[in-house]
Homo-oligomer: A and B are copies of this chain.
Amino acid sequence: MSALDIASEETVDLGEMTESLGFMLRLAQLRLFERFFQGFAEAGVRPGEFTVLWVIALNPGVRQGALARVLRIKPAHMTKLVQRLVSDGLVRRHVPPRDRRSVRLELTGAGQGYLDRNRATFLRVHDAEREGLTEAEGRELLRLLAKLALAGGEPCP
């Protein structure tokens, strides 16, 4: 089989699919995940987990439901995610007497230490995400994604 045959066989026409935002968004996300895991491989943490730790650190005592809503994580999933972080000793749950249905979250000392140790990694990944784009392009991409994500109002009011 000649190289030409191989090339013609392996060339796949995607047609208008290359103009599908959904499709291209998926390809871009797969690429970013590769870069995330390169950076966080040694830290043993997933994107969702790191984001949750980050936001709890910025909002100590945040209500679990509010966290789920703003991060677009389903409550049932958030329960399991938080359980994992609690059993890892990174997060502490607190039920306030004022409303004993709710659960408030804060970092433990270990969680704060973990975040401090990995803050530099996060910022490095932050830069690596933009690999192949100019700084202006990175800013514009971010602006367009935000506009798209927030268009037509919040999905979870």
Q: Residues of A at under 8 Å CB distance from B?
A: 9-10, 12-34, 36, 47, 51, 54-55, 58-59, 62-63, 66-67, 69-70, 72, 125-126, 129-133, 137-138, 140-142, 144-152, 155
Contacts and interface: CB of A to CB of B under 8 A. Distances in A.
A21 B148 contact: no
Contacts of A67: 12
A148 B126 contact: no
A56 to B, nearest CB: 10
Contacts of A155: 30-31, 34
B146 A144 contact: no
A126 B142 CA distance: 21
B12 A141 contact: no
B147 A133 contact: yes
A148 B141 contact: yes
A145 B21 contact: yes
Nearest to A61: B9
A129 B21 contact: yes
Contact of A72 (B25, B27, B59): B27
Contact of A133 (B51, B131, B137, B151): B151
A149 B27 contact: yes
Given A25-B28, A27-B149, A151-B132, A126 B19 contact: yes
A12 B149 contact: no
Contact of A55 (B14, B26, B148): B14
A40 B152 CA distance: 19
- Pairs of residues from A and B, 10 with the lowest C-beta to C-beta distance, nearest first: A132-B151, A27-B149, A24-B145, A21-B129, A141-B144, A12-B70, A28-B149, A28-B145, A28-B148, A22-B32
